[in-house]
Chains A and B, each alone.
Chain A
């Protein structure tokens, strides 16, 4: 019994401390992840009204590729080594083609150009609406079609820290989430019994605790999945592949990648690659309802060329890959098992699909976003209850003189003097309460808790003005990054400096609401597209985005004003009673 109790306490400590140490960073990653699931298509369509909603029926993969290759060769004078075409998706007719220059040994190099195409204009020269050049890392950072999308995705995947440190950090945060979910499962002994009830106690911190338990219980599977896939995705490219390369390939990462992806070296004999439209028609015949995601031509116009068409078969979560001989256009194989020679890309694609929920349309993405917001709240509620509990043990309710007075009877109930540190002899007189550190942490948590939504709302509001003011998408992305972190820092500073805290947080929530409404208005003024225009054009993802922004704005304004009034009323009541309200 004693051993069980000790193990339980240890597990509880692991759960509390892993969460407490990483909670704020984890909150940023989880909340931005909830928005980032929409970044590539829905928000891209919202952020760039110039792009058509529907793909032109005459859109041709072959012509899009050849058009981009011709541009690439005219601009760089280098031969193209490989090409990836990302297909337009329903609701946003954006396609893009990444052309990588051929390396000296005939393999695909790491420098190239990414062309953005408006597939609503077909595939003539006017369809090319943007370009980005650089190495694969740079193209990876700019390939999210709009500055807003690029900013959101990279905030989630690496917090805009320099590679590979950002990936390491988010990988560790994923691991933390996994550990917290598993330890939470162990310490919540009555998970099934409590899952169907929500106790609603009087104190706010007690409500934080109950909400934490309820969301934790129902979000357990999601958090386990997100933690596992996030950790593997972060470490797969940054750490696992280099380790495998060192162990099995003498440190040659490119060779390890090539073996796992299953592509033989180039033959060095020129031969035109088969018509891609014919290959796409072949895939549609083999898999009715197939939804293509991207097409990869390895060793372009080489006798050993290989074409991989990757996408979703009907009803599948993981992507399947249809492989063709590039020179003859003959079908080779369908790769969808973990045992075949595309195991690495298959595994990564499955992890990506599950992590971002991009396999089942808008409904799955909406569910992922809601679960992501709930999980972000879970992290914050866990931190707040930890701060309250630790602060209470040290000096009563965190950061308050009133709390210090309340602490004495509580400490007496617990059989120890208020302010006594662990390990001090029993009967030692309690020192003056010193919960300032926890008070500061509570304020910081409140600042980050509202600051991140404020930063995201500010970025939404700034997306169109920045696109209009800045010359390149990279500059616009940089400006959005500055806006986001400035607003988060401002919210933290206000939460720490001003009192009462509830009123400050209420005011910040109202600012979030104003920014969300400003996003819709800025889009209307600068792009000339108001919600009713999108409705008339049946651009449903844009209409939904506008509706969500306006609805959230109304809800947050109501909640913010209510919280601000509550804080002021409590301070007035506290002053009348001679207490200090934090």
Chain B
């Protein structure tokens, strides 16, 4: 159960980070709050995993699941159109 809660926190934190990065809100307060919230969620998730699995395993699980979750979150919600006209290719 703790593991699932920690994973939800990771997904939430990453989702928040992707949103603030994508939208670039003008309000500095909102930006700082969003980044802080994202960081806090990730830190709490690390704490939960370390508490449940021990320092070594908990930390490694965090280090493995954050990138995996990030890839999924970024692929789903972090897409952005091309920056410039793309060259044609032969594929």
A interface residues, Cβ below 8 angstroms from B: 195-206, 214-215, 218-219, 221-222, 314-318, 354, 357, 359-360, 363-364, 367-368, 370-371, 374, 388, 391-392, 396-400, 402-403, 406, 410, 502, 582
A410-B56 Cα distance, complex, nearest whole Å: 53
Q: Which residues of the partner chain A approach B3 to less than 8 Å between Cβ atoms?
A: 363
- Which of these, A197, A203, A403, contacts B21 with CB under 8 Å? A197
| 15 contacts across the A-B interface (CB closer than 8 A) | A195-B70, A195-B74, A197-B21, A200-B81, A201-B86, A205-B90, A219-B67, A359-B60, A363-B3, A371-B67, A388-B89, A388-B91, A397-B89, A403-B90, A406-B88
B interface residues, Cβ below 8 angstroms from A: 3, 17-18, 21-22, 53-58, 60-61, 63-65, 67-68, 70-71, 74-75, 78-83, 86-91
A123-B82 Cα distance, complex, nearest whole Å: 64
A392-B90 Cα distance, complex, nearest whole Å: 9
From B64, B79, B80, B91, residue with most partner A Cβ within 10 Å: B91
A368-B63 Cα distance, complex, nearest whole Å: 11
Does B22 contact A203, Cβ atoms closer than 8 Å?
no
Does A199 contact B90, Cβ atoms closer than 8 Å?
no
A400-B88 Cα distance, complex, nearest whole Å: 12
A314-B54, A315-B53 as given contacts; A398 in contact with B80, CB under 8 Å: no
A364-B22 Cα distance, complex, nearest whole Å: 31
Does B57 contact A315, Cβ atoms closer than 8 Å?
yes
A201-B71 Cα distance, complex, nearest whole Å: 18
Does A502 contact B91, Cβ atoms closer than 8 Å?
yes
A71-B67 Cα distance, complex, nearest whole Å: 50
What number of A-B contacts does a CB cutoff of 8 Å give? 127
In the assembled complex, the CB of A388 is this many whole angstroms from the nearest CB of chain B, namely 6
- Which of these, B63, B67, B83, B87, contacts A203 with CB under 8 Å? B87
Name the residue of chain A whose CB is nearest to the CB of B51.
A315
Does B90 contact A396, Cβ atoms closer than 8 Å?
yes
A316-B21 Cα distance, complex, nearest whole Å: 36
- Which of these, A214, A318, A370, A403, contacts B68 with CB under 8 Å? A370
Does A196 contact B18, Cβ atoms closer than 8 Å?
yes
Q: Which 3 A-B pairs have the closest CB atoms?
A: A315-B54, A397-B90, A201-B82
From A360, A368, A400, residue with most partner B Cβ within 10 Å: A360
Q: Which residues of the partner chain B approach A399 to less than 8 Å between Cβ atoms?
A: 90
Q: Which residues of the partner chain B approach A397 to less than 8 Å between Cβ atoms?
A: 88-91
Does B86 contact A206, Cβ atoms closer than 8 Å?
yes
Does B78 contact A198, Cβ atoms closer than 8 Å?
yes
In the assembled complex, the CB of A442 is this many whole angstroms from the nearest CB of chain B, namely 8
A112-B88 Cα distance, complex, nearest whole Å: 62
Q: Which residues of the partner chain B approach A359 to less than 8 Å between Cβ atoms?
A: 56-57, 60
A403-B58 Cα distance, complex, nearest whole Å: 51
In the assembled complex, the CB of A147 is this many whole angstroms from the nearest CB of chain B, namely 30
Name the residue of chain A whose CB is nearest to the CB of B69.
A218
A270-B82 Cα distance, complex, nearest whole Å: 77
Does A368 contact B88, Cβ atoms closer than 8 Å?
no
Does B80 contact A197, Cβ atoms closer than 8 Å?
yes
Q: Which residues of the partner chain B approach A364 to less than 8 Å between Cβ atoms?
A: 57, 60-61, 64
Q: Which residues of the partner chain B approach A360 to less than 8 Å between Cβ atoms?
A: 53, 57, 60-61
Does A374 contact B90, Cβ atoms closer than 8 Å?
no
From B56, B83, B88, residue with most partner A Cβ within 10 Å: B88
In the assembled complex, the CB of A197 is this many whole angstroms from the nearest CB of chain B, namely 5
Does B78 contact A582, Cβ atoms closer than 8 Å?
no
In the assembled complex, the CB of B49 is this many whole angstroms from the nearest CB of chain A, namely 10
